[in-house]
Protein backbone atom coordinates (compact mmCIF):
# COMPACT_ATOMS: atom_id res chain seq x y z
CA UNK A 1 0.00 0.00 0.00
CA UNK A 2 1.17 3.50 -0.81
CA UNK A 3 3.03 5.27 1.96
CA UNK A 4 0.70 8.27 1.98
CA UNK A 5 -2.02 5.97 3.32
CA UNK A 6 -2.10 4.44 6.79
CA UNK A 7 -4.35 1.72 8.15
CA UNK A 8 -6.93 2.96 10.62
CA UNK A 9 -7.21 -0.18 12.74
CA UNK A 10 -10.45 0.96 14.40
CA UNK A 11 -12.24 1.45 11.07
CA UNK A 12 -10.31 -1.23 9.18
CA UNK A 13 -9.67 1.10 6.24
CA UNK A 14 -6.71 2.94 4.78
CA UNK A 15 -6.80 6.70 5.28
CA UNK A 16 -4.62 9.54 4.01
CA UNK A 17 -1.64 10.16 6.28
CA UNK A 18 -0.88 13.51 4.66
CA UNK A 19 -3.58 15.91 3.48
CA UNK A 20 -2.86 16.91 -0.12
CA UNK A 21 -2.09 20.56 -0.78
CA UNK A 22 -2.50 22.27 -4.15
CA UNK A 23 -1.04 25.77 -4.43
CA UNK A 24 -1.21 28.21 -7.31
CA UNK A 25 1.84 30.34 -8.08
CA UNK A 26 0.56 33.34 -9.98
CA UNK A 27 4.10 34.67 -10.47
CA UNK A 28 4.10 38.33 -11.72
CA UNK A 29 0.58 38.20 -13.14
CA UNK A 30 -2.79 39.81 -12.38
CA UNK A 31 -3.60 43.35 -11.35
CA UNK A 32 -6.24 44.11 -8.74
CA UNK A 33 -9.23 43.78 -11.08
CA UNK A 34 -7.91 40.57 -12.63
CA UNK A 35 -7.22 39.07 -9.21
CA UNK A 36 -10.73 39.92 -8.06
CA UNK A 37 -12.28 38.32 -11.14
CA UNK A 38 -10.14 35.18 -10.86
CA UNK A 39 -10.82 34.68 -7.15
CA UNK A 40 -14.55 35.30 -7.48
CA UNK A 41 -14.74 32.70 -10.24
CA UNK A 42 -12.61 30.25 -8.27
CA UNK A 43 -14.40 30.41 -4.91
CA UNK A 44 -17.49 28.34 -5.85
CA UNK A 45 -15.46 25.98 -8.05
CA UNK A 46 -13.17 24.81 -5.23
CA UNK A 47 -15.45 25.11 -2.22
CA UNK A 48 -15.74 21.32 -1.78
CA UNK A 49 -12.06 20.57 -2.35
CA UNK A 50 -10.66 17.62 -0.41
CA UNK A 51 -7.19 19.16 -0.34
CA UNK A 52 -5.75 22.36 1.12
CA UNK A 53 -6.07 25.09 -1.51
CA UNK A 54 -3.60 27.99 -1.63
CA UNK A 55 -3.16 30.90 -4.02
CA UNK A 56 0.20 32.68 -3.99
CA UNK A 57 -0.28 36.12 -5.48
CA UNK A 58 2.05 39.06 -6.15
CA UNK A 59 2.53 41.27 -3.08
CA UNK A 60 0.24 43.91 -4.60
CA UNK A 61 -2.70 41.46 -4.79
CA UNK A 62 -2.35 39.98 -1.31
CA UNK A 63 -4.76 42.36 0.37
CA UNK A 64 -7.42 41.72 -2.28
CA UNK A 65 -6.88 37.95 -2.01
CA UNK A 66 -7.07 37.90 1.79
CA UNK A 67 -10.19 40.08 1.75
CA UNK A 68 -12.05 38.05 -0.90
CA UNK A 69 -11.18 34.65 0.55
CA UNK A 70 -12.16 35.42 4.16
CA UNK A 71 -14.34 32.61 5.52
CA UNK A 72 -13.60 30.36 2.54
CA UNK A 73 -11.36 27.30 2.11
CA UNK A 74 -8.83 29.21 0.01
CA UNK A 75 -5.60 30.13 1.82
CA UNK A 76 -3.38 32.96 0.66
CA UNK A 77 0.38 32.89 0.16
CA UNK A 78 3.11 35.29 -0.93
CA UNK A 79 5.91 34.41 -3.34
CA UNK A 80 8.87 35.59 -1.29
CA UNK A 81 9.79 37.05 2.10
CA UNK A 82 12.85 38.76 3.53
CA UNK A 83 14.76 37.24 6.44
CA UNK A 84 15.14 40.42 8.51
CA UNK A 85 12.42 41.63 10.85
CA UNK A 86 12.72 45.23 9.63
CA UNK A 87 15.29 47.78 8.61
CA UNK A 88 17.16 49.26 5.67
CA UNK A 89 16.22 46.69 3.02
CA UNK A 90 14.67 48.81 0.30
CA UNK A 91 12.02 46.96 -1.69
CA UNK A 92 11.76 44.01 0.69
CA UNK A 93 8.81 42.66 2.70
CA UNK A 94 9.11 41.04 6.14
CA UNK A 95 7.35 37.95 7.44
CA UNK A 96 5.60 40.04 10.11
CA UNK A 97 4.18 42.34 7.42
CA UNK A 98 2.72 39.33 5.62
CA UNK A 99 1.25 37.85 8.79
CA UNK A 100 -0.35 41.19 9.67
CA UNK A 101 -2.04 41.17 6.25
CA UNK A 102 -3.54 37.74 6.92
CA UNK A 103 -1.17 35.79 4.68
CA UNK A 104 -0.57 32.16 5.75
CA UNK A 105 1.88 30.66 3.27
CA UNK A 106 4.97 31.83 1.40
CA UNK A 107 6.86 30.27 -1.50
CA UNK A 108 10.59 30.30 -0.78
CA UNK A 109 13.48 29.43 -3.10
CA UNK A 110 11.54 29.12 -6.35
CA UNK A 111 13.94 28.29 -9.19
CA UNK A 112 13.16 31.61 -10.88
CA UNK A 113 14.41 33.39 -7.77
CA UNK A 114 17.50 31.17 -7.67
CA UNK A 115 18.11 31.77 -11.39
CA UNK A 116 17.38 35.51 -11.74
CA UNK A 117 17.75 36.98 -8.25
CA UNK A 118 20.78 35.24 -6.76
CA UNK A 119 18.86 33.10 -4.27
CA UNK A 120 21.16 30.54 -2.63
CA UNK A 121 20.65 27.65 -0.22
CA UNK A 122 21.82 29.99 2.57
CA UNK A 123 19.33 32.77 1.74
CA UNK A 124 16.56 30.19 1.32
CA UNK A 125 17.38 28.91 4.81
CA UNK A 126 17.39 32.44 6.28
CA UNK A 127 13.98 33.17 4.73
CA UNK A 128 12.56 29.82 5.91
CA UNK A 129 13.65 30.46 9.50
CA UNK A 130 12.22 34.00 9.48
CA UNK A 131 8.93 32.79 7.98
CA UNK A 132 8.53 29.99 10.53
CA UNK A 133 9.41 32.29 13.43
CA UNK A 134 6.63 34.67 12.34
CA UNK A 135 4.07 31.88 11.97
CA UNK A 136 4.05 31.65 8.16
CA UNK A 137 4.07 28.26 6.42
CA UNK A 138 6.90 28.10 3.86
CA UNK A 139 6.49 26.20 0.60
CA UNK A 140 10.16 25.44 -0.02
CA UNK A 141 11.15 24.79 -3.63
CA UNK A 142 13.93 22.43 -4.64
CA UNK A 143 14.72 20.93 -8.03
CA UNK A 144 17.46 20.13 -10.49
CA UNK A 145 18.20 21.69 -13.87
CA UNK A 146 18.23 19.64 -17.06
CA UNK A 147 22.06 19.73 -17.14
CA UNK A 148 22.19 18.44 -13.58
CA UNK A 149 19.76 15.60 -14.40
CA UNK A 150 21.68 14.67 -17.52
CA UNK A 151 24.94 14.70 -15.55
CA UNK A 152 23.49 12.22 -13.03
CA UNK A 153 23.53 14.80 -10.23
CA UNK A 154 19.85 14.76 -9.22
CA UNK A 155 20.42 13.20 -5.80
CA UNK A 156 23.45 15.36 -5.03
CA UNK A 157 21.56 18.56 -5.90
CA UNK A 158 18.38 17.67 -4.03
CA UNK A 159 20.19 16.53 -0.90
CA UNK A 160 22.23 19.75 -0.90
CA UNK A 161 19.20 21.99 -1.49
CA UNK A 162 17.01 20.19 1.04
CA UNK A 163 19.65 20.10 3.80
CA UNK A 164 20.59 23.71 3.03
CA UNK A 165 17.01 24.99 3.16
CA UNK A 166 16.25 23.18 6.41
CA UNK A 167 19.48 23.80 8.34
CA UNK A 168 18.88 24.52 12.05
CA UNK A 169 15.19 23.53 11.94
CA UNK A 170 13.85 21.17 14.61
CA UNK A 171 11.27 18.38 14.70
CA UNK A 172 8.81 20.96 16.05
CA UNK A 173 8.80 22.60 12.62
CA UNK A 174 7.88 19.59 10.49
CA UNK A 175 4.13 20.22 10.34
CA UNK A 176 4.63 23.85 9.41
CA UNK A 177 6.35 23.68 6.04
CA UNK A 178 5.80 22.02 2.67
CA UNK A 179 8.46 20.99 0.15
CA UNK A 180 7.81 21.54 -3.56
CA UNK A 181 9.89 19.37 -5.87
CA UNK A 182 10.09 21.34 -9.09
CA UNK A 183 12.45 20.04 -11.77
CA UNK A 184 13.56 23.27 -13.43
CA UNK A 185 13.25 21.71 -16.90
CA UNK A 186 9.54 21.10 -16.32
CA UNK A 187 8.55 24.60 -15.19
CA UNK A 188 6.55 26.55 -17.75
CA UNK A 189 7.79 24.26 -20.52
CA UNK A 190 4.80 21.97 -20.91
CA UNK A 191 7.24 19.13 -20.24
CA UNK A 192 6.11 17.24 -17.13
CA UNK A 193 8.24 14.75 -15.26
CA UNK A 194 6.62 11.35 -15.74
CA UNK A 195 4.68 10.23 -12.71
CA UNK A 196 7.33 7.56 -12.02
CA UNK A 197 10.24 9.97 -12.25
CA UNK A 198 8.47 12.53 -10.06
CA UNK A 199 7.61 9.85 -7.51
CA UNK A 200 11.11 8.34 -7.39
CA UNK A 201 12.74 11.75 -7.12
CA UNK A 202 10.44 12.83 -4.33
CA UNK A 203 11.37 9.61 -2.54
CA UNK A 204 14.98 10.87 -2.50
CA UNK A 205 13.80 14.09 -0.86
CA UNK A 206 11.75 12.16 1.71
CA UNK A 207 14.73 9.96 2.53
CA UNK A 208 16.77 13.11 3.06
CA UNK A 209 14.07 14.52 5.34
CA UNK A 210 14.30 11.28 7.31
CA UNK A 211 18.05 11.82 7.77
CA UNK A 212 17.54 15.44 8.84
CA UNK A 213 14.65 14.84 11.27
CA UNK A 214 13.71 11.15 11.63
CA UNK A 215 12.15 8.57 9.24
CA UNK A 216 8.76 8.83 10.96
CA UNK A 217 8.94 12.64 10.83
CA UNK A 218 9.58 12.45 7.08
CA UNK A 219 6.37 10.46 6.63
CA UNK A 220 4.44 13.47 7.94
CA UNK A 221 5.97 16.12 5.69
CA UNK A 222 4.00 17.04 2.59
CA UNK A 223 5.94 17.12 -0.68
CA UNK A 224 4.36 18.64 -3.78
CA UNK A 225 5.29 18.14 -7.40
CA UNK A 226 5.53 21.24 -9.58
CA UNK A 227 6.25 21.62 -13.29
CA UNK A 228 3.54 21.88 -15.92
CA UNK A 229 0.96 20.13 -13.73
CA UNK A 230 -2.46 20.62 -15.29
CA UNK A 231 -5.99 19.14 -15.47
CA UNK A 232 -4.79 16.43 -17.87
CA UNK A 233 -1.89 15.00 -15.85
CA UNK A 234 -2.93 15.75 -12.27
CA UNK A 235 -4.73 12.44 -11.65
CA UNK A 236 -1.76 10.30 -12.61
CA UNK A 237 0.68 12.44 -10.63
CA UNK A 238 -1.54 12.54 -7.54
CA UNK A 239 -1.97 8.76 -7.66
CA UNK A 240 1.72 8.37 -6.85
CA UNK A 241 2.40 7.39 -3.25
CA UNK A 242 5.02 10.06 -2.61
CA UNK A 243 3.23 13.02 -4.24
CA UNK A 244 1.15 15.02 -1.78
CA UNK A 245 0.05 17.89 -3.97
CA UNK A 246 1.12 20.34 -6.61
CA UNK A 247 2.61 23.78 -7.07
CA UNK A 248 0.88 25.09 -10.16
CA UNK A 249 2.09 27.99 -12.31
CA UNK A 250 0.40 28.50 -15.69
CA UNK A 251 -2.70 26.46 -14.91
CA UNK A 252 -3.39 28.50 -11.76
CA UNK A 253 -4.16 31.61 -13.79
CA UNK A 254 -7.43 30.19 -15.15
CA UNK A 255 -10.13 29.45 -12.58
CA UNK A 256 -11.54 26.43 -14.40
CA UNK A 257 -8.12 24.84 -15.01
CA UNK A 258 -6.97 25.43 -11.43
CA UNK A 259 -10.24 24.10 -10.03
CA UNK A 260 -9.91 20.95 -12.13
CA UNK A 261 -6.45 20.40 -10.68
CA UNK A 262 -7.71 21.06 -7.15
CA UNK A 263 -10.70 18.72 -7.63
CA UNK A 264 -8.63 15.98 -9.28
C1 LIG B 1 5.90 27.09 -10.99
O2 LIG B 1 6.10 28.21 -11.39
O3 LIG B 1 6.10 26.81 -9.81
C4 LIG B 1 5.37 26.10 -11.93
C5 LIG B 1 5.31 24.85 -11.57
O6 LIG B 1 4.99 26.57 -13.17
P7 LIG B 1 4.21 25.73 -14.32
O8 LIG B 1 3.09 25.00 -13.66
O9 LIG B 1 3.72 26.78 -15.27
O10 LIG B 1 5.21 24.82 -14.92
**Does 6 reside within a domain?**
no
Which distant-in-sequence residues (6+ apart) come within 8 Å of 42 by Cβ? Answer: 55, 74, 255, 258, 259
Q: Is the pLDDT of residue 1 over 80?
A: no
Is the residue at 257 inside a domain? yes
The model's confidence at residue 139, banded by pLDDT at 50, 70 and 90, is very high
Beta strands 52-56 and 74-78 are: parallel
Q: Give the pLDDT confidence of 74-98 residue by residue, as tens digits.
A: 999 999 999 999 999 999 999 999 9
pLDDT 10s digits, 177-207? 999 999 999 998 888 889 999 999 999 999 9
Ligand 1 mean position, distance from CA 105 (Å):
17
Position 239 scores a pLDDT of 96
Could you write out the three-class secondary structure of 150-190?
A: HCCCHHHHHHHHHHHHCCCCCHHHCCCCEEEECCHHHCCCC
CATH number of the domain that residue 44 is part of = 3.20.20.70
Q: In the predicted model, is pLDDT for residue 99 greater than 80? A: yes
Q: Is 198 in the pocket of ligand 1 (CB under 6 A)?
A: no
Asked if residue 13 belongs to a domain, the reply is: no
Phi, psi for residue 247 in degrees, rounded to 5: -110, 120
What distance in angstroms lies between residue 108's CA and the mean position of ligand 1's atoms? 14
Q: Report yes or no: 149 and 185 within 8 Å, Cβ to Cβ.
A: yes
Specify the ligand 1 atom closest to the Cα of 141.
3
Domain that holds residue 61: 19-262
CA distances to 123, 227, 235 from 195, in Å: 31, 12, 10
Q: What mean pLDDT is predicted for residues 121-134?
A: 98
- 44 CA to middle of ligand 1, Å? 24
Residue 114: strand, helix, or coil = helix
Pick the atom of ligand 1 nearest to 228's CA. 10
Active site residues: 110, 182
Query: What's the structural domain count of the chain?
Result: 1
Nearest CA to ligand 1 atom 4: 249
143 lines ligand 1 (CB under 6 A): no
105 occurs within a structural domain:
yes
User: What does residue 101 show for φ and ψ, rounded to 5 degrees?
Assistant: -75, -20
Residue 186 located in a structural domain: yes
Amino acid sequence: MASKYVMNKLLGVYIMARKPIIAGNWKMNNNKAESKALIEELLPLVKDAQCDVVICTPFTDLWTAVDLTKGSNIHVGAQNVHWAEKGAFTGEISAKMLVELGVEYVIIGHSERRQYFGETDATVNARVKAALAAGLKPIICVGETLEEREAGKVEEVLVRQTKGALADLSKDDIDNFVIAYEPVWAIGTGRTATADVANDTIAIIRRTLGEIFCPKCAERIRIQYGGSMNPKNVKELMAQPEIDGGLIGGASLKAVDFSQVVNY
